[in-house]
Amino acid sequence: MGMKTFVENAWRKRPSSQYLIIFILLGIVLVVAGGFAVWLQWEWLRSSEDGKASNGDTLRNVGFIVAGVVALGFAFWRAQVAERQADAAQEQTATAQQSLLNERYQRGAGMLGSPVLSVRLGGIYALQRLAEEYPGQYHLQVMRLFCTFVRNPLGEDDIPFDLREVPADVQAVITAIGERSSAGQLIESKTEFTLDLRRVRLKSADMRELAFTGANLQYAYLSGADLVRIELSGAYLLKTNLSSAVLVRANFSNARLTEADFSHARLTRANFSNARLAKANLSGALLARANFSRADLTEADLSGDRSVYANFSNAAAIRTNLCGSDLSGGDFSGALLWDANLSDANLANANLSGADLTDANLSGADLEGAIVSGAVLGTEPIRTATGEIVRPGRYARLSQLQLDQTVADPDNPPIIPNGSFDPETGDPLVWRGGLVNLQSEKS
């Protein structure tokens, strides 16, 4: 191995080697420069008070130069030795600390299997602190362990889980997951980690203001749970049971809720924007001021709901059951209501401008003060639960026959702007008294 190769390898090895090489090269330069100076200034180096040359003085001066270089080299070497010792000590400290952290994790995990509730709770809190203090090392590891702890491996028919309340240790774990640190959630986002909470049994659990963004809660049982202001944006809740749950101001934006059960749930001001609710059951739910903007409600059941002032703008409510629902003051502008069942629904003061009501059943619907318009719809496509992309037609589809089957206060009939036409006959839409007037004419 040549000198050049040795220097290159040492240079790549570590920063301290780089400094040593620099010093050696500097020392060589100083020695050469010193020798050259001796050669040029030979007479000066040999000078003495009487002007006589002295070989001893010359050697002494040269020795001073060499000794200085050697002393500097020795000092630098001692500094490097001290640095290496410090690095070794630091490495030993880090190893010892990691061993302690691993021991904390193992001890906490072991405590989860204890038959004593207080011991299990202690293990949960210990693991929660560990994940918060060292998220880069332990967050995902602890979350996986917590999710496993909450999931019940038994099948739904093995025990009457619908009669069970959430145990204290399971409640503690759910709270720890829902309150995980922002640093931990950032790690989840970067690693595309998903909280696996499939089939968990959390009847009447307290999950207020907890965060489960993107969590997998398919087939979970959350009936009667307190989910006020819960964060479930982007979550997977296929066939999840949320019946009679309290979901005031819950966030389900972009969530997948196909066939989820929200029957008789309290969903006041809940956010379902861009959510997929195909075949979901929301019958009897309280949906006052809930936001279903651009949601997919294909074949969903909202019969008997109280959806006062709810926002259904640009939603896809194809074959949706809204029979007997209180939809007064609701915004259905631009919504697709193909073949929807709105019979006996209360649409008083609702905004139906631009809504496509092709083949919708409006028999007995109350349109008192409602805005009914044949205005041009938006052209942005809407994707249904089956993946089909639906593009709204040019004109709202509300026929004169459908309009005649509705009811309204004679003093406050529906508002039909100019330019609204029957799509079948091409005649302008007019309010003729609705169903009450037709019945009186027949009698």
240 vs 358, more confident: 240
C-alpha R_g of the chain: 39
Q: How much is the pLDDT for 70?
A: 64
Beta-strand ranges (E) seen in 317-407 are: 351-353, 371-373, 382-383, 389-390
- Reference 101, options 130, 129, 123, 122; nearest CA is 130
pLDDT in tens, 129-164: 999 999 999 999 999 999 999 996 333 445 455 556
Asked if residue 107 has pLDDT above 80, the reply is yes
Q: What's the token pair of residue 379? A: 């052209």
The DSSP bridge partners found for residue 286 are 266, 306
Per cent of the chain over pLDDT 70 is 70
Q: How much is the pLDDT for 426?
A: 77
**DSSP H helices in 14-54:** 15-40, 42-45
Residue 425 confidence class, pLDDT cut points 50, 70, 90? confident
Q: How much is the pLDDT for 400?
A: 83
Asked if residue 282 has pLDDT above 50, the reply is yes
Asked if residue 233 has pLDDT above 60, the reply is yes
Q: Which long-range contacts (CB under 8 A, 24 or more apart) does 103-110 make?
A: 104/130, 105/130, 105/138, 105/141, 105/142, 109/145
Q: Is 206 exposed, middle or buried (0-12, 13-18, 19+ CB in 10 A)?
A: middle
30 vs 102, more confident: 102
- CA neighbours within 13 Å on the CB side: how many for 1? 6
Our separate counts of H helices and E strands in the chain read 10, 4
CA atoms of 441 and 2, how far apart (whole Å): 112
pLDDT in tens, 370-383: 888 653 333 444 45
Q: Which long-range contacts (CB under 8 A, 24 or more apart) does 283-291 make?
A: 283/321
DSSP per-residue letters across 169-196:
HHHHHHHHHHT--HHHHHHHHHHT---B
Per cent of the chain over pLDDT 90 is 51
- Most confident segment among 40-44, 55-59, 296-300: 296-300
Asked if residue 415 has pLDDT above 70, the reply is yes
Q: How much is the pLDDT for 379?
A: 40
